[in-house]
Amino acid sequence: MTLTIELSELKSPFYFERTADYVSRLSLNFKEKGDYYITNCPFHTDKTPSLFLYQSNGTVRFKCFSDKCQSGSWDIFAFIQKIEGCGFIDSVKKFASYLEVDEVILPKGNILKIHD
């Protein structure tokens, strides 16, 4: 069976815990605080945790509240691109592969196959 999912669904709260689990594998020590997670921001010196992972308007978001982060707000794909230094398609492949999704329908309707 082939599991095909639209890109926007991968950012939905349905995958909130798995998003937290995925980024925790990137040696980000997220701590659960009820309905959100926090950790020290990896993009600058951060003595008190400034990076939040939370749900907003039906989307899972990352946001850094430190003054040191210029545009510190990302969805899972933008976050993977920034922390892993890869492009958009690779960020989709990494996260979808972790979720064991076979195909992702991109915003323009193209189908991205994950396992080839």
Q: DSSP 3-state assignment of 77?
A: helix
Q: Which of 69, 83, 105, 112 binds Zn ion (CB under 5 A)?
A: 69
- Report in angstroms how near the CB of residue 72 gets to Zn ion at its nearest: 5
73 binds Zn ion (CB under 5 A): no
Q: Which of 59, 66, 73, 83 binds Zn ion (CB under 5 A)?
A: 66
Whichever of 47 and 108 has its CB closer to Zn ion, that residue is 47
38 binds Zn ion (CB under 5 A): no
Judged by phi (left if over 0) then psi (alpha if -120 to 50, else beta), residue 10 lies in: alpha
- Which range binds Zn ion by CB under 5 A, 18-26, 40-48, 87-95, 107-115? 40-48
23 binds Zn ion (CB under 5 A): no
Tokens, residue 114:
């994950």
Give the separation between CA 98 and CA 100, rounded to whole angstroms: 5
41 binds Zn ion (CB under 5 A): yes
H helices of 1-116, in order, are 7-10, 16-24, 76-84, 88-98
